[in-house]
């Protein structure tokens, strides 16, 4: 294991395998040299993945079982070339991530964290009426989704329940989603959206797909929600748009350089709501993810088909 991911996962792994804990080693390179002939599997997560150094240090590596759906920190091409299998944890987390996207949207539009502070601080008792807390309605708004995969689709279904009009951008239109409007350009999607939700995988094509032009098209009454990966957004551009009032608000579960969050975002506590990359963070889902991580390893070492193969 590259890091302490989740105690249940670790316990389940320890029931079946000899688990070596890289994070406990005083000297990581020395530890890998000492164990490089016996390490056949790596368990990691979306934030850590498999570094090129770790891959190079493990000549007997057969499989990487990732506690994540995102695979952007693993060089899949290189794994394929070297015959290393890779698995992830799709589907089990779709509902939770989509729920958080809606939660962040409502939290920004209805200023929920600021409302909570207003009550707790006793300010409510001092003012008869507080216009500062008025913001925008969610029901009936136009929601644009960047990436209509499993999670994007689940967000669309939820937003439909709020009477929202759904549009999306993806590499190609999805014939099965003909009731949603497709925009080949993200700028056009943003221009036609009140809320823009990023739900695509991070790839070379989607890095900084949300740039200044997209943010300006979303505009001063628009809200950006990101539950995908921080690097899909040009973060300095996002920060300056929020500071200058060119963007209405943002609900962010992911950041370019986690766990570091730009100080200005922290100060913008009226119209920005932040979460610590917790899209899949419920007991039910994390257990489902752990069971998949273990299940993929068991299948591999029993010579069976992987449950959720990527490579
Ligand atoms: O970010 C979390 C994941 O990729 O599962």
What ipTM was predicted for this assembly? 0.98
pLDDT over 80 at 53, yes or no: yes
Cα–ligand 1 centroid distance for 46 (angstroms): 5
> Given the CA of residue 46, which atom of ligand 1 is nearest to it?
4
- Cis check: omega of the bond before 24, within 30 degrees of 0: no
> Given the CA of residue 47, which atom of ligand 1 is nearest to it?
1
The pLDDT value recorded for residue 128 is 74
Cα–ligand 1 centroid distance for 186 (angstroms): 23
Cα–ligand 1 centroid distance for 203 (angstroms): 14
Q: Is 100 a pocket residue for ligand 1 (Cβ < 6 Å)?
A: no
- The confidence band for 28, taking pLDDT boundaries of 50, 70 and 90, is very high
> Is residue 241 within 8 Å of residue 99, measured between CB atoms?
no
Q: How many residues does the chain have?
A: 311
> Given the CA of residue 93, which atom of ligand 1 is nearest to it?
5
| pLDDT digits 0-9 by tens, 144-179 | 999 999 999 999 999 999 999 999 999 999 999 999
Evaluate if pTM is beyond 0.95.
Answer: yes
CA 277 to CA 165: how far, in whole Å?
27
| Residue 277 annotated to the active site | yes
């Amino acid at each position: 294991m590259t890091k302490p991911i989740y105690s249940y996962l670790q316990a389940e792994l320890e029931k079946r395998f000899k688990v070596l804990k890289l994070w406990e080693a005083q000297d990581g390179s020395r530890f890998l040299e000492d164990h490089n002939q016996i390490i056949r599997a790596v368990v990691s997560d979306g934030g850590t993945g498999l570094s090129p150094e770790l891959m190079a240090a493990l000549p007997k590596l057969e499989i990487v079982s990732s506690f994540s759906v995102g695979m952007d920190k693993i060089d899949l091409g290189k794994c394929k070339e070297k015959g290393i299998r890779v698995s992830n944890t799709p589907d089990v987390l779709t509902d939770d991530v989509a729920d958080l996207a809606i939660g962040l949207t409502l939290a920004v539009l209805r200023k929920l964290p600021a409302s909570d502070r207003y009550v707790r601080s006793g300010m409510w008792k001092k003012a008869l009426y507080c216009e500062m807390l008025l913001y925008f309605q969610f029901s009936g708004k136009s929601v644009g989704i960047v990436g209509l995969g499993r999670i994007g689709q689940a967000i669309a279904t939820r937003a439909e329940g709020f009477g929202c009009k759904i549009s999306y951008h993806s590499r190609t239109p999805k014939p099965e989603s003909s009731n949603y409007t497709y925009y080949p350009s993200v700028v056009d999607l943003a221009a036609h959206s009140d809320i823009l939700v990023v739900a695509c995988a991070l790839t070379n094509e989607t890095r900084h797909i949300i740039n200044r032009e997209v943010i300006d098209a979303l505009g001063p009454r628009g809200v950006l929600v990101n539950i995908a990966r921080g690097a899909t957004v040009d973060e300095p551009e996002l920060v300056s748009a929020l500071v200058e009032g060119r963007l209405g608000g943002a609900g962010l579960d992911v950041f370019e350089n986690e766990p570091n969050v730009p100080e200005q975002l922290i100060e913008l506590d009226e119209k920005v709501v932040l979460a610590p990359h917790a899209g899949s963070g419920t007991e039910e889902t994390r257990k489902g993810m752990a069971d998949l991580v273990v299940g993929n390893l068991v299948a591999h070492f029993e010579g069976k088909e992987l449950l959720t193969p990527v490579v």
